[in-house]
Amino acid sequence: MLKLHLKKWLLASAISAALIGCAHEVQPVSTLPQGVSLIEAVAQAENQVSIPYKKYQLANGLTVILHQDKSDPLVHVDVTYHVGSARELAGRSGFAHLFEHMMFQGSQHVADEQHFKVITEAGGTLNGTTNTDRTNYFETVPSNQLEKMLWLESDRMGFLLPALTDKKFEVQRETVKNERAQRIDNRPYGRLNERFNQALYPAGHPYSWPVIGWPEDLDRATSSDVKHFFQRWYGPNNATLTIGGDFDEVQTLAWVNKYFGEIPRGPEVKPDAKTAVTLDKTRYISMEDKVHLPLLYIGFPTVYAQHKDEAALDLLANILGGGKTSLIYKNLVKEGFAVQAGVSHPCQELACQMSLYAVANPAKGGNLADIETKVNQTIAEFEQRGVTNDDLQKVKVQFEADTIFGMQSVQGKVSTLAANQTFFGQPDMVGSDLARYANVTKADVMRVFNTYIKNKPMVVMSVVPEGQTQLIAHQDNFTPKVMPIAQEAVTGLTGTAFAKSSFDRSKMPASSAAPLLTVPQLWQAKLENGISVMGTESNETPTVELLIYLDGGHRLASLDKAGVADLTASMLNESSSKRSSEELAGALDMLGSSISFGASGSQSYIKVSSLTENLNATLALVEERLFSPGFLQADFDRVKQQAIQGLQHQLSDPNYIARAGFKALLYGNDNPMGVSSNGTVKSLSALTLDDVKQYYQQQYRAGNAQMVVVSDLNQQQLMPKLSLFSQWQGEATQVAALGTSLTHPKSTVYLIDKPGAAQSVITLGKTSLAYDATGDYFKAYLMNYPLGGAFNSRINLNLREDKGYTYGARTMFVGAEDSGEFMAYASVRSDVTADALTEFVNELTAYQAKGMTDDELNFMRNSIAQGQALEYETPYQKAGFLRMIQRYQLDNNFTAEQDNIVNNISTQELNQLASQLLNIDDMVILVVGDKTSVEPSIKALGYQVETVTLAE
């Protein structure tokens, strides 16, 4: 679920001034199209962070919000309908989410699958999401594509039903079932929330059923039900259209009125009642699941979004369980009773809850009754301890920083405006939200603790591994009431008018010339010790993104020490020789900064995000952690145990098993590429603190390091601040070359048994090209795009849209400096495993033989060429661009050469690559699924089946 609004604090005046300096005076449009009314024009608020906008309303009730941001040549369009699963009825769940899918299936003037094709070919990205209270559809496209987006969105708002067929309905129902199987039934702890909400909310409460729906409710639905649901809730008077980015306001309003203005109003929509949720007693429920670690989940019903007590409850959640300085961390994680634990206060339109979770550590027995006791003791400790000045201050600064970082993309600002308008009728609430959080006092926090938490009934849920019910916290004492199935899927549906158009909607609007793309201007420098620094200036927010990369990572370690790179990075996130983990975390919280050490297959890295005004203090903390690590035995023992248990948890996830198993088959267990960078249970168990110290000496040397930085500071301002890293010493460490990859017999399917799995994860692939920016690797990326690189690619349309086998299927090339792979993959229904494998093989074989068509070539060219407008918007995207140049030693204008290749490469050259690279006989085939049910059908296809296991 998405949070419904920003929860931030009042910003320091220096930050506010930095943002306000970019604002402009908002002037109303002098002449409005007939039927369009200006509701309000809001400029940048003085001495306060806000999002300037203009709000209009059409005669049919559609609310239109415009926010101009000309910093990048793109626009973000969001249509939010005030309908989510809360508008459904008992026994009729899943309609809102099902409709999220149906709205992409074409409308009267937009052909089947055309919605995705049009936006992708325009270089855009798109999606839709559903939660309890709203459904939104959004796309980000180059700015010259705006009219086309309004044509698409208006056609499905006003003209969907004529194109809604029984076949489309059945296919999307199967797709939703596949999504449920992949995201819920086949995922560890996936069913937790839906079971928990049945206990927390009264029977029949609109939050008591899952957003994705109960399977039996989906089976019960008919296409007529779906049509009625659309007619009831998807009218313009129940929608907000928000547009942000680089656009002409007068022209945009004219387009909006043209495409949306003729759509008739739907039935009137009234807000649902916000009835307080109460519990008569503490309710205990439990569930066995295919998991490794027991989990305790506790919830207290509280208020609703924008309630006067919401802010204080948020602060209470942060104090109780918001990171390493919290009480829950101290008492459960630090003491080793839990591998992970935390507290949050998620709020929705009708209700909020104080939620606490703890994943039990088997090393301490894993008994959830003990965890519950620890939680209750922690709550009692808070009552005695109370609220400190530091508690309030650290949360205040965290929210300050989160607000600024949330302003880095047009999508972030548009999403905020759309949600606030939908739920509260006021698009920009950033300033008022910050103010109400800033005004929270210690007394407020204690008051809400006493009102909603102390001695109050709660829901306590135990999730335990199958067959280990002895670990539950308490015997179940609650069974959800089964509500009668609503006779009708929709209520309140009155006579509805169908839209008629005064112009030819079947003609897709043309696009103007593509906007000129400005690639970030780079600067390069070196520190005194030779460390390369690459940077660019970005003035949209007063922030700094600094990334330090170190060549080596997992490949720097011997295979018997697999996992030491990750473990060392984790230790560098802990105590220094000067301060404890908690003290360092508290210092970061006070700055609103983040510092994260991590590792991957071929790199270790340090990611630093900071407000510019706090950069010096943040870099001092980086310096302390990097050069003065504590490497305490107590930290090591805890972190190591967390890593082992975390790996055990991942080994219950079929998708992780598939990724790790595929790599092992390609490269073998004697090659670092074939062993997960997470290590194995065996290798992690054998690691010692001395191993970490030795790896630290090998990896964290100046000779291995390079830096990338994106900031509103220029090079002259920034380089002196980075000079503290000039003390860093040490020559580069040589990384051993990779061994050869393995070969496998043809017509063999490798099977990893996952008993009872709801889905099978299919992976086909082979070793392939190493990365290069302008050679065969880049051309292979172009070649693969119509095959499986886009949503409307051949493989995804076949397996998802035509067959209903999967929620999504993809193919891709992945390359590094000296290695690369091609892979095709999907999670499919268990009962169609063999059929889906056949479709994969048929598609790959056909594409290898005949390649792409000229139409597919043109689609690929348009999509990739125009999509560059979206690639450099945020500081983090800019940092990724710089890192590519730095890591692979590319020419600064390599994108121009890529453009030339995209525009001039022939189908013949691309299809020759397909012929060379996609031979199915060279590929490994791996299936992770229930052996008993899938093996016979795979053998019936003529394959030899070899059962394998992951190395432990």
Closest CA to 724 of 745, 707, 741: 707
Considering just the CA atoms, what is the radius of gyration of the chain in Å? Answer: 28
CATH 3.30.830.10, the chain: domain bounds: 33-260, 523-727, 748-947
Distance CA 200, CA 192 (A): 12
pLDDT classification of 8: cutoffs 50, 70, 90:
very low
The larger pLDDT score, comparing residue 16 to residue 267, is at 267
pTM of the model: 0.89
- Show the DSSP H helices in 533-599 as ranges: 564-572, 581-591
Using one digit for the tens of pLDDT, what is the confidence trace for 839-866? 999 999 999 999 999 999 999 999 998 8
Confidence (pLDDT) at 173: 87
Identify the bridge partners of residue 827 per DSSP, sorted by sequence position.
761
Q: How do beta strands 459-465 and 594-599 pair?
A: unpaired
750, containing H or E segment: strand 748-753
Going from the C-alpha of 325 to that of each of 312, 318, 342, 611, the distances in angstroms are 18, 9, 11, 21
For residue range 868-897, what is the model confidence (pLDDT) as tens digits?
777 777 888 888 888 999 999 999 889 889
The alpha helices in 159-222, defined as continuous H runs, are 166-180, 192-200, 215-220
Answer yes or no: are the C-beta atoms of 458 and 282 closer than 8 Å.
yes
- Whose tokens are 């880095």? That residue is 408
CA distance 86 to 4: 14
Is the pLDDT reported for residue 15 higher than 80?
no
Q: Is the pLDDT of residue 681 over 90?
A: yes
Torsion of CA 623, 627, 628, 634, to 10 degrees: 110
* Residues counted in the chain: 952
pLDDT band, residue 62 (cuts 50/70/90): very high
4-13, 185-194, 340-349, 942-951: which range is least confident on average?
4-13
Three-state SS for 455? coil
**What tens digit of pLDDT does each residue of 318-341 get?**
999 999 999 999 999 999 999 999
Residues 6+ apart with CB under 8 A from 542: 15, 18, 19, 404, 611, 612, 613, 712
Q: What architecture does CATH give domain 748-947?
A: 2-Layer Sandwich (3.30)
According to the model, what pLDDT value does residue 28 have? 55
- Token pair belonging to 142: 């180059």
Phi/psi class of residue 592: alpha, beta or left (left: φ > 0; alpha: ψ in -120 to 50)?
A: left
Q: Are 602 and 551 in contact (CB under 8 A)?
A: yes
C-alpha–C-alpha distance, residues 550 and 728, integer Å: 13
The CATH homologous superfamily to which domain 523-727 belongs is Metalloenzyme, LuxS/M16 peptidase-like (3.30.830.10)
Q: How far apart are CA 413 and CA 415, in angstroms?
A: 5
Task: Write 805-809 long-range contacts (CB < 8 A, 24+).
Answer: 805/174, 805/178, 805/829, 805/832, 805/835, 805/836, 805/839, 806/178, 806/182, 806/836, 807/175, 807/178, 807/179, 807/181, 807/182, 807/183, 809/840
Lowest pLDDT segment from 28-42, 245-259, 618-632: 28-42
Query: Tens digits of per-residue pLDDT, 287-317?
Result: 999 999 999 999 999 999 999 999 999 999 9
899: number of Cβ within 10 Å: 15
Please tell me the distance from the alpha carbon of residue 919 to that of residue 911, in angstroms, as a whole number.
13
Spatial distance between the Cα atoms of 437 and 428, rounded to a whole number of angstroms:
16
Q: Give the integer Cα–Cα distance in Å for 578 and 761.
A: 47
Nearest-angstrom CA–CA distance, 84 and 98 = 10
Over the stretch 383-406, which tens digit does the pLDDT of each residue have? Answer: 999 999 988 888 878 877 887 788
Which residues is 749 bridged to in the sheet? 925, 945
Confidence of residue 810 (pLDDT cuts 50, 70, 90): very high
- Taking residues 186-212, report their average pLDDT: 94
- Taking residues 26-53, report their average pLDDT: 80
For residues 106 and 104, what is the distance between their CA atoms, to the nearest angstrom?
Answer: 6
What pLDDT does residue 310 have?
A: 96
Q: What are the tokens at 845? A: 């074989």
Whether 918 has a pLDDT exceeding 60, the answer reads: yes
Q: Lowest-pLDDT range, 250-254, 425-429, 749-753, 846-850?
A: 425-429
Best CA proximity match to 599, nearest among 558, 629, 555, 644: 555
Predicted pLDDT at 10: 26
* CB-count burial class (<10 Å; 0-12, 13-18, 19+) for 251: exposed
* Helix (H) or strand (E) run with residue 24 in it: none
Give the tens place of pLDDT for each residue, 687-717. Answer: 999 999 999 999 999 999 999 999 999 999 9
d(C-alpha 285, C-alpha 474), whole Å: 8
Quick: pLDDT tens for 503-557: 999 999 998 888 877 788 899 999 999 999 999 999 888 899 999 999 999 999 9
Alpha helices per DSSP H over 797-906: 833-850, 854-867, 875-888, 894-904
Mean pLDDT of all residues in 630-649: 94
Q: Confidence band (pLDDT; 50, 70, 90) for 21?
A: very low
The pLDDT-based confidence of 14 (bands split at 50, 70, 90) is very low
Residue 591: CB partners within 8 Å, gap ≥ 6? 397, 401, 610, 611, 614, 617, 618, 621
Token digits of residue 84: 């989510």
Alpha-carbon distances of 113 from 141, 804, 826, rounded to whole Å: 18, 14, 20
C-alpha distance from residue 682 to each of 309, 568, 610, 678, 727 (Å): 49, 17, 38, 11, 37
Averaged confidence pLDDT in the chain: 91
How many whole angstroms from its chain centre is CA 477?
A: 36
SS3 (DSSP) at 116: helix
Q: Which residues contact 825 (CB under 8 A, 6 or more apart)?
A: 658, 761, 762, 763, 764, 765, 809, 810, 811
Give the other-Cβ count within 10 Å of 435's Cβ.
15
Q: Is the per-residue pLDDT at 22 higher than 60?
A: no
- At 781 the pLDDT is 97
Long-range contacts of 446-449 (CB under 8 A, 24+ apart): 446/386, 446/387, 447/309, 447/312, 448/302, 448/309, 448/312, 448/313, 448/316, 449/316, 449/382, 449/383
Dihedrals phi, psi of 563, to nearest 5 degrees: 100, -10
**pLDDT tens digits along 262-276:** 999 999 999 998 999
What does the longest C-alpha to C-alpha distance in the chain come to? 77
The share of the chain scoring above pLDDT 90, in percent, equals: 74
Percent of the chain with pLDDT over 70: 97
Fold of 33-260: Cytochrome Bc1 Complex; Chain A, domain 1 (3.30.830)
Check: CB of residue 422 under 8 Å from CB of residue 64.
no
Give yes or no for a contact between 266 and 235, defined as CB atoms under 8 angstroms apart.
yes
Straight-line distance from the first to the last Cα atom of the chain, in angstroms, rounded to the nearest whole number = 35
Report the C-alpha gap between 59 and 105 in whole angstroms.
28
HSE at residue 222, side-chain half, CA atoms within 13 A, is 7
